[in-house]
Amino acid sequence: MRIPFSKMQGAGNDFVVLDETRTRYHLRPEHYRFLGDRRYGVGADQILTVRPATQPGVDFAYVIHNADGGEVEQCGNGARCFVRFVQEQGMTDKARIRVQVQHGIIELEALPDGLVTVDMGAPRLDPAALPFVADGLTQRLQGEAELWRLDLSAAGIGAPVEVALVSMGNPHAVLLVDDVMTAPVQAVGPAVQALPAFPNSVNVGFLQVLDRGHVRLRVYERGAGETLACGTGACAAVVAGIRLGLLDSPVQVDALGGTLRIAWQGGDAPVLMSGPATTVYHGEIDLPDHPWLPDVSKVPA
């Protein structure tokens, strides 16, 4: 099956974008893994699929798959690329559009300066919303936020970590660190994800506060590993930082791949994310009926 695609990126978070508004490709998880693979396929952190809306008053729907083939609930950087894609493909002439994602509706606006603002909706602050299983775990209060103590000794990490929990339609655990560049992201990220406390896994953010309006952030994502930027991770980190009493809205978030601007006024107010979205190239790919990828876990060290 030969299918067209667009390669896009937002702050270094890269995507394969597919148009299924006229034809459904009926792809399986192994197809998404093939598309996301950087050696055998196109290569991307996530694959975004544009589909027709199924609700009145909504412009489009879109589905998000991680590079491991699993479907996920939300992707902030992908949402910005989504806007650019439907505009550039002539699918809409609106600057502001409403889009269905897995757990609701988000509003997106393309700005005259080339940036895109996404209304990500209000954060969910109940740990059960992630979901999070708190059995046997302890917490302490800092500001308005709970910090949960996680034991990572099963992964060979001696010191426990404390995380603030935020759902932006997808789950996030945010750790405060002194320096994101020396933080043990590759060890602590998967160790936190593997804990029984996170039955659906979790995105793990490593947050360094520079001042009350400026932070640095690295995120170890579910199904993708560390990415150059994570839009929902930036939103979750700023929400956590504000609730911990460390930040004031708006906040500049410096990710490895670029800069995002996050605004949140607290409570049930929506989180607003602004940042870049760029088309890299368009192409076509022959997608095998039964794509095969090597199991790199079996490669000797």
Separation CA 165–CA 170 (nearest Å) = 11
Which sign, positive or negative, has the C-alpha torsion 271, 272, 274, 279?
positive
Closest CA to 47 of 11, 106, 80, 5: 5
Separation CA 149–CA 235 (nearest Å) = 22
Locate tokens 């997106």: which residue? 108
Closest CA to 100 of 61, 154, 150, 147: 61
pTM of the model: 0.82
pLDDT at 299: 47
Tally Cβ neighbours within 10 Å of residue 195. 19
Ranges of residues in the chain with a pLDDT under 70 are: 296-301
| Cα 268 to Cα 68, 107, 123, 253, distances in angstroms | 33, 16, 7, 22
Phi-psi region of 73 (alpha: psi -120 to 50; beta: other; left: phi over 0): alpha
Separation CA 9–CA 214 (nearest Å) = 23
pLDDT at 114: 80
Locate tokens 């055998």: which residue? 40
- Catalytic residue, chosen from 72, 75, 204, 207, is 75
**Looking at beta carbons, which pairs linking 135-141 to residues 24 or more positions away fall under 8 Å?**
135/197, 137/197
Torsion of CA 121, 123, 124, 127, to 10 degrees: 150
Locate tokens 């978070």: which residue? 13
Locate tokens 């001696």: which residue? 158
Tell me: the pLDDT tens digits for 259-279? 999 999 999 999 999 999 999
Show Cβ contacts of residue 292 under 8 Å, excluding neighbours closer than 6 positions. Answer: none
- Catalytic residue, chosen from 83, 230, 236, 260, is 230
pLDDT at 238: 98
What residues pair up with 64 in beta bridges, in sequence order?
48, 72
Closest CA to 34 of 19, 53, 47, 18: 47
Separation CA 165–CA 132 (nearest Å) = 9
Tally Cβ neighbours within 10 Å of residue 59. 18
Q: What is the mean pLDDT of the chain?
A: 93
Check if 81 is active-site.
no
Q: Are 237 and 217 in contact (CB under 8 A)?
A: yes
